[in-house]
Amino acid sequence: SGPGSSGPIKISVFGTGYLGATHAVAMAELGFEVMGADTDQGKVDALAAGKVPFFEPGLDPLLEKHLATGRLTFTSDLAAAAAWGDVHFICVGTPQMKTSHAANLSYVESAATTIARNLTKDALIVGKSTVPVGTAARLREVIAAELPAGRKAELVWNPEFLREGKAVDDTLHPDRIVLGGTSAQAEATLREVYAGPIAEGTPVVVTDLPTAELVKVSANAFLATKISFINAISTVCEAAGADVTVLADALGHDVRIGRQFLNAGLGFGGGCLPKDIRALMHRANELGAYRASALLQQVDEINMGQRERVLDMAVEACGGSVLNHRIGVLGAAFKPDTDDVRDSPALNVAAALHLRGAQVTVFDPEAGDTARRSFPTLSYATSIQEAVEGTDVVLVLTEWDEFAKADAEKLAPLTSSPRVVDARGKLDPARWRAAGWEFAGLGRPAA
């Protein structure tokens, strides 16, 4: 039972974006009564009507299922959700500040304030958002100051590691569950919430608040470092005539290294990795951990440099200038299996080419609409064929399977001249060259 009432645990989820919507649906799937609360009325209306406002494989059917079971509701009445729940998950955004590398914590603070102020019973508040180390301790003070007289609330941190594109599975079957700063009672409540995954053998790491906060950003920093490592090596490969994809396969056979996150290419983007490593950089500097900060600074610079390298390759493929050249861009999402274009390297390169005077046509299997919303001045195609038609060069900027499977022979005659730049190591150079394409790949030898 919940901390403030007898009966089954009622779970409220504050913030119903990529993380919160998935978490709310997954908690209903685990059998709890769930209320998702968001300040964005449009999002709340969509979810309440059974429509996930973004593309996430497998989420729609589970949302419909639990709207039907009646276990899952959505509201924009944050105070009502605070009054209703026993366990409150904070899943709001922590984007990068406009003016610095630091994380913007105003949404997290606002959610914690709203929850604390409107509690009608003792409660457990669980932070899931990714936050700089030290945030939770400060939020405890905020909460203590806001609690109605006589109410008790405990704040703990339970960072989320889900991947967009695999969010449902990652939430229901996580690699690990990290619980930070829990009392014995809070730990028991969360073990009840996660009883399903725990019964499957998911390891639970119980630790203090700062460690829990840091596990999350360190995981992202490590993944980002792995990508920037292989991208740095890819520049050496290019200069030396080596093939980074073969090299990565060979490295990956070493179980200490592993093959994942060793794809050289346009680099990482999205709503998490870039802002998380920058926030850690910023926080590490504040804490005097300058070497950690310097390492992450390099990781970020290498990553952003990949976008420049791909721009240079496009310029070269167009004979020295992209002005008035027609460029087909395959990919807008920051990675496949999502429609998320937040800090997308693909869209960033497409936009830069547009600003340099190229006529850019973008195709993405899922992210066309989100891309159009954030970059309306680009042209958008509804198929690979349409994006490739009449182009001087084609760029592959997101690693959708659909692009790897594309029929190079059928596409070649549609172009004004068949030139392709594979910025994701996704295409088979031999096949494309045999189909008449001039092929350039990051970290791949010339023909």
| Residues classed as catalytic | 272
What minimum distance in Å lies between the beta carbon of 342 and ligand NAD? Answer: 8
Stretch that binds ligand NAD, among 10-18, 191-199, 257-265, 302-310 (CB under 6 A): 10-18
Instruction: Say whether residue 18 binds ligand NAD (CB under 6 A).
Output: yes
Instruction: Select the span of 85-93, 140-148, 282-290, 298-306 touching ligand NAD (CB under 6 A).
Output: 85-93
Per-residue binder mask for ligand NAD (CB under 6 A), 299-338, x = binder: ----------------------------------------
Q: Which structure tokens are listed for 106?
A: 């105003």
Q: How far is the CB of 60 from ligand NAD (least distance, A)?
A: 16
Query: 240 and 371 in contact (C-beta within 8 Å)?
Result: no
Q: Which residue of the chain is nearest ligand NAD when measured via CB?
A: 17
**C-beta closer to ligand NAD: residue 79 or 147:** 79
Tokens, residue 393: 């060069």
The answer to the question of residue 350 lying near ligand NAD (CB under 6 A) is no
If the CB atoms of residues 90 and 230 are measured against ligand NAD, the closer one turns out to be 90
Task: Walk across the sheet containing 72-75 and list its strands.
Answer: 72-75, 33-37, 10-14, 87-90, 123-127, 153-157, 177-180, 204-207
Kindly report the number of other CB atoms within 10 A of residue 263's CB atom: 22
Binder to ligand NAD among 26, 46, 67, 78 (CB under 6 A)?
A: 78
Q: Which letter, b or e, does each residue of 300-337 get, where b requires 16 or more Cβ atoms within 10 Å of its Cβ?
A: bebbeebbebbbebbbebbeeebeebbbbbbbbbbbbb
Q: Which is nearer to ligand NAD, 157 or 403 (CB)?
A: 157
Q: In angstroms, what is the minimal distance from the CB of 77 to ligand NAD?
A: 11
Under the binding rule (CB under 6 A), the answer on residue 283 touching ligand NAD is no
Phi, psi dihedral angles at 204 (to 5 degrees):
-115, 125
The correct pick among 24, 26, 72, 162 for binding ligand NAD (CB under 6 A) is 162
**Rounded distance, CA 36 to CA 24, Å?**
6
Q: Per the annotation, where are the binding residues? A: 38, 43, 94, 130, 161-164, 216, 261-265, 269, 275, 335, 342
Q: Which residues are annotated as a binding site for substrate?
A: 161-164, 216, 261-265, 269, 335
Select from 25, 29, 32, 43 the one that contacts ligand NAD (CB under 6 A): 43
Choose which of 24, 92, 209, 266 interacts with ligand NAD (CB under 6 A): 92
Q: Judged by CB under 6 A, how many residues of this single chain contact ligand NAD?
A: 27
Angle at 24 between CA 32 and CA 117, to 5 degrees: 90
Among candidate residues 85, 77, 83, the one with its CA nearest the CA of residue 34? 85
> Of 14 and 32, which has the nearer Cβ to ligand NAD?
14
**Residue 135 CA: distances (Å) to CA of 97, 130, 304:** 15, 10, 28
Site for ligand NAD in 256-275 (CB under 6 A): 271-272
Query: CB under 6 A: which stretch of 90-98, 198-206, 284-292, 412-420 binds ligand NAD?
Result: 90-98
Does 14 participate in binding ligand NAD (rule CB under 6 A)? yes
Stretch that binds ligand NAD, among 103-111, 138-146, 409-417, 420-428 (CB under 6 A): 103-111
Contact 29, 71 (CB under 8 A): no
Pick from 46, 111, 371, 408 the residue near ligand NAD by CB under 6 A: 111
Q: Which amino acid is at 444?
A: R
Q: Choose one: 13-21, 61-69, 176-184, 228-236; the region binding ligand NAD (CB under 6 A).
A: 13-21
Q: How many residues does the chain have?
A: 447
291 CB burial (10 A radius; 0-12, 13-18, 19+): exposed
Token digits of residue 223: 């993944």
Q: Does 94 interact with ligand NAD (rule: CB under 6 A)?
A: yes
37 vs 156, which CB is nearer to ligand NAD? 37
Contact between 93 and ligand NAD per CB under 6 A = yes
Where on the chain is the footprint of ligand NAD (CB under 6 A)? 14-20, 37-40, 43, 78, 91-94, 107, 110-111, 129-130, 160, 162, 164, 271-272
